[in-house]
Amino acid sequence: MEFRLFAPHTERVDLIGSWDEGAATAMHRGDDGIWRTDVDLADGRYTYRFRFPSLSPFMAGETAEISDPKAQLIDDWLGEASVIQVVDGEDVTTAPGFVWEHDDKPLPPNNELVIYELHVGEFAYGDEGQGSFLAVIDRLDYLRDLGINAVELMPVMSFAGSESWGYNIRYPFSLESSYGTPEDFKRLVDECHARGMRVILDVVLNHSDSEAPLTRIDFDYWYREREGVPSFGPPFDYERYDETLDVMPARAFALETIQYWVQTYHIDGYRLDATAPIDNFDIVRAVRDRAYEVAGGKPIYIVAEQLPEDPAIAGAEGPADGAWHQSFERTVVGWLCGEDGIDAGQVAGVLDPSTLGYVRPELVVNYIESHDEHTLMQEMAARGITGDAAFRRHKLAASLMFTAVGIPMLYQGQEFGGYRERDMEIRPLQWDLLDGDFGLHLKEHYAFLARLRNERPALRSAEIETLHVGDGELVFRRGSGDDEVVVAVNLHDEDRHLSVPFPDGTWWQTTGDTPFDVSGGTMASRFAASEARIFVRRTE
């Protein structure tokens, strides 16, 4: 087995392995800055580390002992030791013999995605505590029946401790062992593909955990503090260029990470965390290009969390395939919670992201909840909006999200009105809400909207026209011709008789079975409080 460590300016590196009871084996540096050594290993499971004099300023030449920055598996019980598993003389740490059974299944293109963001530990929480990759598999049919065709996993790379949201990544090439094995994760991805569901992996390129191995090798070679930029950990220096080796080390490390998860675990896209602090569109573009290159022609979706919002990240010349549409969440949730200064015209505005520069639907991800926000139910409750009123407004928010231009994204438990406090504690979703009428009805409403979006190309198109904006009234059209959808909304939390502009013709309301005719360009009807009605044109 060959062991490698890229540490071009370190004077000495020793390999410490469990196969030799901790004895040191001197490694040799090549002209490429990589230290190497070969070790004959019998079949078995081994741990190893690297030892060297640190070049990081805060260690002042002290000897450091680290696990492999590119370890494919970490043993938390043995002080975060790097793991290698050998069978028949081959490295089988990531289960390379796994048989992918569903690689040939067609997967939805980017513009047809309905995304569900989940945390493995919380979504599949069980009697033994936080969930696992295999436990998530047990709930995939639930997601499929809900209408989800893309699962966005909050980070599953190794982090410090055993419970975390995952944004403190310490070993970006290693799966978090508390969730399961590499074979378990491959089975999860394969089972998602079996159901026609893509897997989007949340990855952190902006920063690393403060105790990550690279911080001990040569901090200033890998990282750069940026004045005035929020820091969630040591920020990578994507500008640094090593002239001697003709390499940009942090950039190369990031691109190897991107390549690794696509090739090894067959994932179908990335959500890039905190791209605004990176402040480097070139690295985002390089990430997309590398992912496309190694994907072998299958669909890949690169979506950026660019906050504050900058549509240029996913504009006509932008480096990403999509971006989180925070202004949609802020406007819709703000309206539903009664915030001053938000009117029906602003709600109409965020339904059409092209006004901001997102020229295609798949370039924007609309959401009303994510891991970064309090749940909608919490936001409303904090303002005294509870019970039936909260339920009606939540349904309205879902209707707007699925009929707006863009890709809809749900956050775990949103579909049944989850209202857990937003903090770092890992705990189960409130699945028992599905036993009540509100939770079950809300979930069925989400499933209905997802089916409607799947059936109606108009709802996946870029076409949108605002037909009417009034005092708490909104009517807009999606699509045209034979495939036309009209949405009429009473934004007031009280019943209203609305007489609003409406296209002539014969229409079906999607929740009814009786057609009705409109002539004279006006529809008059009594709308319930916070009601959104969706109509499709009848052409036969």
Q: What is the pLDDT of residues 17-50, one digit of tens each?
A: 999 987 999 999 999 999 999 999 999 999 999 9
DSSP state of 464: E
| Residue 422, pLDDT score | 81
| Three-point CA angle 266, 268, 274, nearest 5° | 120
CA distance 88 to 42: 8
| Residue 539, pLDDT score | 63
Q: What mean pLDDT is reported for the chain?
A: 95
For residue 88, what are its two tokens?
Answer: 């028949």
Give Cβ neighbours of residue 389 (< 8 Å, ≥ 6 apart): 380, 493, 529, 530
Res 248 pLDDT > 80 = yes
Render pLDDT for 318-332 as a digit per residue (tens, 0 to 9). 999 999 999 999 999
8 Å CB contact between 528 and 509 = no
Neighbours of 162 (CB within 10 A): 14
For residue 416, what are its two tokens?
Answer: 């049944």
| Residue 511, pLDDT score | 81
Across 245-270, average pLDDT = 98
CA distances (Å), origin 219, targets 62, 206, 230: 13, 15, 19
Neighbours of 244 (CB within 10 A): 9
- Residue with the two structure tokens 């079949």: 43
Across 181-190, average pLDDT = 98
CA distance 443 to 509: 20
8 Å CB contact between 183 and 95 = yes
Res 540 pLDDT > 70 = no
| Residue 76, pLDDT score | 87
Q: Which of 18, 8, 70, 55 is nearest to 39 (CA)?
A: 18
Render pLDDT for 394-448 as a digit per residue (tens, 0 to 9). 999 999 999 999 999 999 999 999 998 888 889 999 999 999 999 999 999 999 9
Cα Rg, the chain, nearest whole Å? 26
| Three-point CA angle 152, 283, 424, nearest 5° | 40
pLDDT over 90, % of the chain: 89
| Residue 77, pLDDT score | 84
At residue 446, what is the residue type?
Y
CA distance 57 to 294: 37
For residue 523, what are its two tokens?
Answer: 């529809």
DSSP state of 196: T
Across 489-517, average pLDDT = 89
| Residue 231, pLDDT score | 75
Q: Which of 130-144, 202-216, 421-435 has the lowest mean pLDDT?
A: 421-435
Residue 232: pLDDT band by 50, 70, 90 thresholds?
A: confident
| Residue 162, pLDDT score | 83
Render pLDDT for 332-355 as a digit per residue (tens, 0 to 9). 999 999 999 999 999 999 999 999
Q: How far is CA 44 from the centre of its chain?
A: 36
Render pLDDT for 85-110 as a digit per residue (tens, 0 to 9). 999 999 999 999 999 999 999 999 99
Neighbours of 276 (CB within 10 A): 16
Give Cβ neighbours of residue 528 (< 8 Å, ≥ 6 apart): 392, 490, 495
Residue 229: pLDDT band by 50, 70, 90 thresholds?
A: confident
CA distance 147 to 151: 11
